[in-house]
């Protein structure tokens, strides 16, 4: 069975933020919170930086939270997404409502 996954291009993330979602940047930068200590929002929009760079400061500043995965070395984007989503799932109902 073949399924199409729709892709959309956008110019401004701020314009497509779903109602009630909290933007969370995942980035290894000064001031980011370690993922093991993070309590995920009930509704989150996770924004990951590219493998060959980082998120613009404007995007990081717009996000309510910035988290990082404490590790030695670097991780590729797919592994990073996998770890963040697993962390959210593993913590179960340990999420917070609203900002």
Query: Using one digit for the tens of pLDDT, what is the confidence trace for 1-37?
Result: 667 777 778 888 888 888 889 999 999 999 999 999 9
Which of these, 47, 35, 6, 42, lies nearest to 21 by C-alpha position?
42
pTM of the model: 0.83
Number of separate helices (H) and strands (E) present in the chain = 2, 6
Please enumerate in sequence order all residues whose Cβ is within 8 A of that of 70, keeping only pairs 6 or more positions apart, or say none.
Answer: 34, 35, 36
- The answer to the question of residue 2 being in a domain is no
Count of structural domains within the chain: 1
Query: Using one digit for the tens of pLDDT, what is the confidence trace for 44-77?
Result: 999 998 888 889 999 999 999 999 999 988 889 9
Do residues 24 and 63 lie in contact, with contact meaning Cβ atoms separated by under 8 Å?
yes
CATH of the domain at 72: 3.40.1280.10
- The answer to the question of residue 25 being in a domain is yes
Which domain range does residue 45 map to? 20-96
- The answer to the question of residue 11 being in a domain is no
- The answer to the question of residue 10 being in a domain is no
6-36 CB burial, b ≥16 within 10 A, e <16? eeeeeeeeeeeeeeeebbbbbbbeeebeebe
């Amino acid at each position: 069975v073949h399924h199409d996954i729709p892709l959309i291009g956008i110019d401004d993330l701020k314009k497509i933020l779903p109602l009630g979602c909290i933007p969370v940047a995942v980035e290894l930068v000064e001031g980011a919170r370690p993922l093991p200590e993070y309590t995920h929002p009930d509704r989150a929009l996770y924004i990951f930086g590219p493998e060959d760079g980082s998120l613009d400061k404007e995007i990081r500043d717009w996000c309510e939270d910035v988290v990082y995965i404490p590790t030695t070395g670097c991780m590729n984007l797919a592994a990073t997404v996998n770890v963040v989503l697993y962390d959210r799932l593993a913590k179960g109902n340990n999420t917070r409502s609203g900002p």
